[in-house]
Structure 1
């Protein structure tokens, strides 16, 4: 599978069905609810080599804090919320954490907040959960979302304010369910956010996960998907805009452990300003039992100024030859001057033309959220980013 659409004129590579084995196999990593099973990272580990580890020491400390985010939730009928224990969360079938910050968050969160949708229930509107940081304190959180068989739900979590926030988000998607989960990082300058989002997808279920990261000084988010039965569909979408000094890191992992499943990963980022940094790592593992699956991952980065850097690393491990398709593509580059010339030749000023290209670049992901109120917020925030642009 080779991606041929490239309106930005950036360099790109794509592999269809080949095997790219990373330096350490993705499935070799520790999974546990016990913090002691995870040593404190030093930055030389494969999973931490792109991250500013020295600035994140508080996230690795297995210490309780009193800080919490202020939560303001607008929940539709049919979605219930309760506080449960970590043991009760494990009984729901959540996946185990895969790095030290997430396991510390799971154990040090004051409570586990459980949002649940019963089987055969369709929410008539999106659930909006606003999480507001209360200052520069270390804060731990654990959210569990469970959606019953043949239910349908959209849940949006907005993060704003100032915090050093470490979270574990655990999603259990029942057989035949249709779930969209949106996480918005709209933090103030100075905020730090580390999170692991895990989903277990049931038989013939549909799961869409969307990360949008526009704020915060350091944001590092992992999204992991595994299947509990054949026929599941997973779509992971991401959008990020890094300004000067920001480090925005997103990692995805699709564990194809079941037959006849599909996955699609599509992340887009723009960067501007000195030391603006983005990292995207996409891992896909196709196990021997994952027969007749189809997977594809794509990351595109648009560099808007000198001094910005984007790292993009797709990894594909294939352990069976009996698959429908597998591929990945990655691209990083600047504007296509011919595209700009085309717009300017129709009377559009150069600065406006460049902004139009950026808006169009992001619009593909924003439209897939399908929550008009959230789309409006994101369009406004991107306009703010562009108003500070050094295009």
Structure 2
């Protein structure tokens, strides 16, 4: 129901550009490309020593060779010109990149079936650092300053009928650090919801570990107060034949930056990364996804959708997919769509694809951004539907594709109501 613009281009080793007006919305996947460069395989549990590439990448690759380290001092000061920060209003980070994050960490409360194990552990717990290494200065700052972590474990073989709700409640405006670990043991099946509420200025590291054969859905809801600042690095390690569905929903907060990273630790894994965001006047909502195909015969699918309304509403989506040389049989696709509802908004959308082997099932990406379609609005109004109702129908239909991916009726209903409130706020 919208007029969209889309970009699809390919280069031998790297693909990436913002959306270009005048291209059609749908397109074919990119054809396999010739091999380029070499890689090293994904390791096991992450080493806690300083690392360039964290054992995952190679130093001459634009994405795989990006610095990763547990030490804050290894990351230079953020100037805003770096690739990973060029869209972020650094002055609005609330000191998360520079301050000692000694404010009170948000409170964590966990509700769920009795089989689920919930622990509060110290920094020396072996599970801390098992999913990944900090990839940017804010994440490293959170690592340097957290004092304890919440570990949520779904036991081996458990198939939970009810969701696990992890409520993270902000403790105020003092800069703070947060660390959460979610472990789905071998052959387990569960839905875990991370719901961020209240007021906070917080740098958060979330580690998600899927052991072999696990099937896990993780929903990260950002429903902060209007003044909150939240930077969340969410790193996933996917075991053999494991399946992850990861859904990010960002509605509240002044500045929210979520960076999901998924790495395959063994063949046969599947990752679905979905996202929904709705930016109002003055909000900055940024999402950067990264899928590292370092194992053969794995599948990834990324789909993020956003809506914007009001003066200076800003959204950013950057999608990176790396298909390493040894990742034969990979099947990967990523797509981002944005719907601009009013003047004064800006949506940046950058899909990137790096392919180092031609022996894959397929790989492609798409980016689409467009304004509200007045012709479709007229079509609905000509059939007796009031203008405000017609607008809501269009936006609701656009975003509902992501909401339906969750698969938990109560959460879907909650998000549908939240989108309705966003639309009502834009009409006032």
2:407 is the alignment partner of 1:370: yes
2:188 is the alignment partner of 1:156: no
CA contact (8 A) 2:15 2:351 kept: no
CA distance in 2: counterparts of 1:324 and 1:83, whole angstroms: 43
Alpha-carbon shift at residue 20 of structure 1 (Å): 3.3
Alpha-carbon shift at residue 15 of structure 1 (Å): 4.5
Alpha-carbon shift at residue 339 of structure 1 (Å): 2.2
2:4 is the alignment partner of 1:10: yes
Q: Which has the higher mean CA deviation after the structures are superposed, 356-365 or 30-39?
A: 30-39
Which residue of the partner structure matches residue 385 of structure 1? Answer: 422
Match of 1:58 among 95, 108, 125: 95
Q: Which has the higher mean CA deviation after the structures are superposed, 350-359 or 85-94?
A: 85-94
More helix by share: 1
CA contact (8 A) 2:296 2:328 kept: yes
2:148 is the alignment partner of 1:111: yes
CA contact (8 A) 1:18 1:327 kept: no
Check 1:266–1:18 CA distance in 2 against 1; reply closer, same or farther (3 A cut). Answer: farther
Which residue of the partner structure matches residue 240 of structure 1? Answer: 277
CA contact (8 A) 2:16 2:350 kept: no
2:172 is the alignment partner of 1:178: no
Q: Which has the higher mean CA deviation after the structures are superposed, 138-147 or 301-310?
A: 138-147
Cα root mean square deviation, aligned: 1.8
Which residue of the partner structure matches residue 368 of structure 2? Answer: 331
Q: Which has the higher mean CA deviation after the structures are superposed, 24-33 or 146-155?
A: 24-33
CA distance in 2: counterparts of 1:341 and 1:22, whole angstroms: 36
Match of 2:252 among 196, 215, 238: 215
Match of 1:132 among 166, 169, 179: 169
Match of 2:78 among 19, 37, 41: 41
Cα-to-partner distance string for 1:275-319 (whole Å, 9 max, x where unaligned) = 000000000011000101000000000000000000000000111
CA distance in 2: counterparts of 1:195 and 1:148, whole angstroms: 23
Alpha-carbon shift at residue 89 of structure 1 (Å): 4.1
CA contact (8 A) 2:256 2:286 kept: yes
TM score, norm. by length of structure 1: 0.94
Alpha-carbon shift at residue 14 of structure 1 (Å): 3.0
Which residue of the partner structure matches residue 4 of structure 1? Answer: none
Greater RCO (CA < 8 Å, at least 6 residues apart)? 2
Alpha-carbon shift at residue 97 of structure 1 (Å): 1.1
Gaps of 5+ in 1: 1-6
Match of 1:94 among 131, 152, 160: 131
Check 1:227–1:117 CA distance in 2 against 1; reply closer, same or farther (3 A cut). Answer: same
Alpha-carbon shift at residue 165 of structure 1 (Å): 1.2
